Amino acid sequence: MNIHDSWPAPAKLNLFLHITGRLDNGYHTLQTIFQFLDYGDNLRITPTQSNEVTLSPAVEGVLLQDNLIYRAAMMLKPLANKHVGAAIELDKILPMGAGLGGGSSNAATTLVALNHLWEIDLPLETLATMGLSLGADVPIFVRGFAAFAQGIGEDLTPVSPPQPHYLVIWPGVAVSTQEIFQAPELPRNTPPLRLEQLSSATLGNDCQEITKNRHPMVASALDWLVEYAPAKMTGTGSCVFGEFESAQAAAHVLKKLPKTMHGFVAKGINTSPLAQKIAQLNDQH
Q: What does DSSP assign to residue 190?
A: P
Question: Is 206 an active-site residue?
Answer: no
Q: Which of 41, 77, 82, 137 is catalytic?
A: 137
Which of the following is catalytic: 12, 77, 232, 277? 12
The answer to whether residues 165 and 244 touch, using CB atoms and an 8 Å cutoff, is yes
Burial class of residue 53 in the structure, from the number of CB atoms within 10 Å of its CB (0-12 exposed, 13-18 middle, 19+ buried): buried
SS3 7: strand
Instruction: Clarify whether 38 is annotated catalytic.
Output: no
One-letter amino acid for residue 261 of the chain: M
Instruction: Classify each residue of 174-207 as buried b or exposed e, where b means 16 or more C-beta atoms within 10 Å of its C-beta.
Output: ebebeebbebeebeeebeebeeeebeeeebebbb
Cβ-contact 267, 166 below 8 angstroms: yes
Active site residues: 12, 137
